[in-house]
Amino acid sequence: MLTHNLGYPRIGSQRQLKRACEDYWAGRSTLQQLLQAGSKLREENWKLQKEAGIDLIPSNDFSFYDQVLDMSLMVNAIPQRFHDVVIGRKNSEMDLYFAMARGFQKDGMDLTALEMTKWFDTNYHYLVPEFQKGQLFKLFSTKVIDEFNEAKQLGIKTKPVLIGPVSYLLLGKEKEQGFDRIDLIENLLPVYLEILNRLEKLGVEWVQFDEPFLALDLGEKERNAFTYVYQLIRTSFPKLKVLLATYFEGIGEESVLAASLPVCAIHLDLVRKPKQLSQMLSLIPEPISISLGVVDGRNIWINDLEASLKLIKEAAEKLGESRVMLAPSCSLLHVPCDLDLESDEKVLSSEIKKWMAFAKQKLGEVTLLQKLATEEQLDNIDFRRNQEAIASRKTSPLIHDNKVKARVGAVTSAMASRKSPFALRAEKQRELLNLPLYPTTTIGSFPQTKEVRSWRAKYKRGDLSKVQYDKLLRDETTGLIRWQEEIGLDVLVHGEYERNDMVEYFGEQLKGYTFSSNGWVQSYGSRCVKPPIVFGDVSRPNPMTVYWSSFAQSLTKVPVKGMLTGPVTILQWSFVRDDQPRSETALQIALAIRDEVQDLEKAGIKIIQIDEPAIREGLPLRKAEWQQYLAWSIRAFRISSCGVEDETQIHTHMCYSEFNDIIQNIAEMDADVITIECSRSQMELLDAFAKFKYPNGIGPGVYDIHSPRVPSQEEMVFLLKKAQAVIPDENLWVNPDCGLKTRHWPETREALIQMVAAAKALREPVLA
C-alpha cells in the first residue's frame, strides 16, 4: 500500500513564511531573501515527509500567498489591469503576483486586488480567478516545474500537485455576461498538457489533480468537461500516473462519472463521508486504485486506528493491497504543523494533548496505518496507546458538564425571537440613537501595533502586571475614542486592543475550551490564526467583554458598539470536538453569548454587534443538506441575539460570502443591521439583497481592508451610489469591509477620513 500526502502546511512551524512575506512587502528584505525563505521551507517540508515514511511526497503545494493565485499565474489568467505592473518597470513577477493578491498603489498606478472568497467550507481564503469570454491561456509561470526540479536536486522525487482544470474554472468568476466559464475548458487544457509534457520529460511518475468540485452538485456541462479533460490527458500521456483528488465531501451521485474517468487513482475523503467507500468499491474498474483519506486533514483529534483499519481492510479485500493507497483526507494546510512544539502544560494539558495530532503527527498516523494494515500487528504498542487514548476521551470528566446539558435541554422557541418585528424596533432605535442618514461605523477592531502586541506578550510572560497592562490598554482605547470622535464617525468601537483574535479571545474565557502555543494555520496570505480547541461542554463562567465596552462608552456620548463573535463563527473557526453533533456544540456556545449580550445591555450598551462571517462558510457543499444546517445555525444566532429589548440594536457582520441562495435565511437572522463585504465585488453581492427586498439595515463595505491601498472619497461615493440604488436611504450604513486589526495606522487613518467624507457627501443632496 502506497502512502501519500495531498499537501503540507506552507507557513512553517514558527510562521516563517508570514514574516518573510511581510518583511518583503515592507521593504525590509530583498526579493532574493524572500525566495530563499520559501526554498528553505520547501526543503524542510519535503525532508520531514520523507523521514516520516511517506511514499509520494507532494510538490507545488507550497505557495507564497495562495495556490489558486499560483494557478492563475501559471496559465496567464492575469487580468489586463495588472499587465503594466511589470511592463517597462523594475517590478518582478513576484510583485505582479502580490499586486493581484493585495492590490497595487505605486508609481502612479492604483489597482484593486482580485476578489477573495472562502475555499469551500473552510476558513482559508483563495483569490478568485477572473475570466473573459473567449479568453486564451498560455504557460506563464513555471512554478510547478521549478519546484519538482528543486526537490529532485535534493534527492526527493515528488508528486506535483495541480488544481484540476475543471475545478480551476469553476473556482473563478465570469467578468462579463453572455458566457459560461466552463466553456473555456478547450482553451485552458492545452496549457495543462504543456505542463504535463515538461514534467514527464523530467521524470515525473505521479501527478495529483485536485478536483474537489467532483464532490459537489454538477451540471451536464461540468460532467462532460471532466470526461473530456481526463480522456485527453490519458490519451496524451498514457504512461503518466494521474491521481484524482476529491475532498470535503463524498462523491455521491457522481460516483459513476468518477469511476469512468481514465485515471490511475481516485482519492476519497473518508473522514467526511466514510460510507462512500462501499459504493466506489462496487464501481471502480481495474486497474484503478483507491486512495483512502482516513486521517482527518481538517481537525486535530487523533485517528481512531481501529475504525480506519476496518475501512482499509474492506478496500484491500475487494481490490487487493496493491490498489489501495493511504493518505490524510485532504491537504494538511488546514491543521497546525507540529504537536511536539506544545510543551507548555499551562496552555495545553498532557491529558488533552494525548487526544490530538497536528500535521507532522498525522503523517505518522498514515504510515502507522500502512504498517498495521500490511503486517497485522494489532499488538503493536502504538496501536494500544491509540486505543487507550480513544477510550479515555470518551469517559473523561473533563468533557461532560451536566449543567450545560440541562440548560440546552431547556431552550424554548420563545428564546429565539425578538419581542417586536423590525419595523417597530427600528422606530424605537431611531428615536433613541438619533443617528444621521448613512451612519458611519467600523466593523470593530483597529490596527494592533507592535507596541500593543508587545504589551500582551509581556503581560503573558509576567513582565507587566495586570494593573500596568490594563492602564496601557485604557490609554490606547481612550486615544482611539477621541480620534473617532474627531473624524466624525457616528457609531464608535473600542478597538479590541485587549483581544488576540476574534475567536481565541472568547475561547480563553469559555469553559470547555483549550489552546495551543504554536497551533497556527493560514487564513489568507500572511494572515495566520490559532484556532482554539473545543474539547468539552461549553459555558461562560464570567462576563467577557462588558468591562472594556463600558469603559469606552464612559468616555463619550457617541454610541459605542459592544463587539462579540457569534456562536456559529466561534464553532466554525475552532477545532471542534467530534464526539457530538456540531449543532449541539453551537447551541451551547449560543447560550454563553446570549448571557454576554444581556450583560452588555444591562451595562448601558445600546448597539451590540454579533459577528457571524462563518455562517455561509459552514454550509454543506451539497444543497440537499443545506436546510438542516441552516435551521440549527440560524437558530443558534437567534438564541444568542434575541434576549434584548426592542431599543437595543443588534448588528451582525459577514464577509466574503455569496448570499443569493440563502438570502431568506439571512433575513431570518433578524439582525437590525448587517454589514457585509462588497468592495472587491464592486457591490455585486447587493444584488441578492435587492432582489429579495431585504427589509433591515445594510452596511455594504465601501473599501477593502485586505489590501493596503487607500481608496479615494470619489471611489467610495461611487460604490455608495450603487448601493443607494438598491437599499432605502434609511437602511443604508457606511463602513469598511471587515475589521482593521491587520492594517497599519497610516492607511487606516486616511481611508476612514475618506469614508466619513464620502458619507457626508452622500447626505448633502438629500439634505438640500
pLDDT, tens digit, 9 for 90 and up, residues 81-90:
998 887 667 7
Query: How sure is the predictor about 680, in pLDDT bands with cuts at 50, 70 and 90?
Result: low
Could you tell me the pLDDT band of residue 691, with boundaries at 50, 70 and 90? confident
573 annotated to bind ligand = yes
Tell me, yes or no, whether 561 and 506 share the same domain. yes
Q: How confident is the model at residue 375 (pLDDT cuts 50, 70, 90)?
A: confident
CATH number of the domain to which 695 belongs: 3.20.20.210
The predicted-structure confidence for 242-269, as pLDDT tens digits, reads as follows: 999 999 999 999 999 999 999 999 999 9
Per-residue pLDDT at 682 = 60
The total number of structural domains in the chain stands at: 2
Q: Give the separation between CA 190 and CA 179, rounded to whole angstroms.
A: 20
Catalytic residue (choose from 334, 400, 706, 744): 706
Do 512 and 649 have their domain in common?
A: yes
Which among 712, 670, 663 is positioned nearest to 688, based on CA atoms? 663
Residues 683, 621 share a domain: yes
pTM of the complete model: 0.88
DSSP 670: -
Q: Residue 605's pLDDT is what?
A: 98
User: Would you say 400 is a known binding-site residue?
Assistant: no
The reply to whether 662 and 680 lie within a common domain is: yes
Domain match, 244 and 320 both: yes
- pLDDT, one tens digit per residue, over 539-569 is 999 999 999 999 999 999 999 999 999 999 9
What average pLDDT does the segment 507-524 reach?
95
Q: Do 172 and 133 form a contact (C-beta atoms < 8 A)?
A: no
Return the pLDDT at 683: 58
Render 488-549 in DSSP notation, one character per residue.
T-SSB--B-TT-S-TTHHHHTTSEEEE--SS--EEEETTEEE---EEEEEEE-SS-SSHHHH
CB 716 within 8 Å of CB 680: no
pLDDT of 704 higher than 90 = no
Residue type, 322: S
> Is 303 a member of any domain?
yes
Name the amino acid, one letter, at 643. G
The answer to whether 546 touches 608, Cβ cutoff 8 Å, is: no
Q: Is the pLDDT of residue 97 over 80?
A: yes
| Same domain flag for 269 and 374 | yes
Same domain? For 388 and 440 the reply is no
Active-site annotation holds for 400: no
Query: Is 118 within any annotated ligand binding site?
Result: yes
What would the DSSP string read from start to end of 323-372? GEEEEESS-GGGS-S-GGG---TTTS-HHHHTTB--HHHHHHHHHHHHHH
Instruction: State yes or no: 427 annotated in a binding site.
Output: no
Residue 347 and residue 442 in one domain = no
* Residue 138 labeled ligand binder: no
pLDDT(423) > 90: yes
The C-alpha cell that represents 399 in the structure block: 468533557
Pairwise CA distance, residues 406 & 458, whole Å: 40
Q: Is 611 annotated as a binding residue?
A: yes
pLDDT for 119 equals: 94
Please give the pLDDT value at position 72: 98
- Is there a domain that residue 106 lies in? no
- 96 is a domain residue: no
> Considering the domain boundaries, does residue 657 fall inside one?
yes
**Mean per-residue pLDDT, 715-726:** 88
Q: Is residue 17 part of a domain?
A: yes
612 labeled part of a ligand binding site: no
One domain for residues 431 and 362: no
Banded pLDDT at 584 (limits 50, 70, 90): very high
Q: Is the pLDDT of residue 681 over 70?
A: no
pLDDT in tens, 666-676: 899 999 999 88
- Look at residue 768 in the predicted model and tell me its pLDDT: 43
Is 738 known as a binding-site position? Answer: yes
CA dihedral 764, 740, 605, 548 (to 10 degrees): -140
Q: Is 275 annotated as a binding residue?
A: no
- Any known ligand binding at 496? yes
Intra-chain end-to-end CA distance of the chain, in Å = 76
* Structural domain boundaries, residue 538: 402-414+427-767
DSSP 561: E
Produce one character per residue of 38-70: b if its CB has 16 or more CB atoms within 10 Å, e if not: beebbeebbebbbebebbbbbbbbbbbbbbbbb
- Is the CB of residue 101 less than 8 Å from the CB of residue 25? no
473: pLDDT strictly greater than 60? yes
How far apart (Å, rounded) are the C-alpha atoms in residues 4 and 370? 11
Q: Are residues 261 and 167 in the same domain?
A: yes
Domain contains 645: yes
User: Is 349 annotated as belonging to a binding site?
Assistant: no
Domain identity same for 385 and 440? no
Other Cβ atoms less than 10 A from the Cβ of 400: the count is 15
Tell me if 92 is assigned to some domain.
Answer: no
Domain-located, residue 409: yes
Q: Which residues lie closer than 8 Å to 705 by C-beta, 6 or more apart?
A: 443, 736, 737, 738, 739, 740, 742, 743
Please indicate, yes or no, whether residues 643 and 555 belong to a single structural domain of this protein.
Answer: yes
Overall average pLDDT of the 387-410 stretch: 93
Quick one: pLDDT at residue 685?
64
User: Is 617 marked as binding a ligand?
Assistant: yes
Report d(CA 687, CA 541) in Å as an integer. 42
Of 718, 613, 751, 762, nearest to 676 (Cα)?
A: 613
Asked if residue 622 has pLDDT above 50, the reply is yes
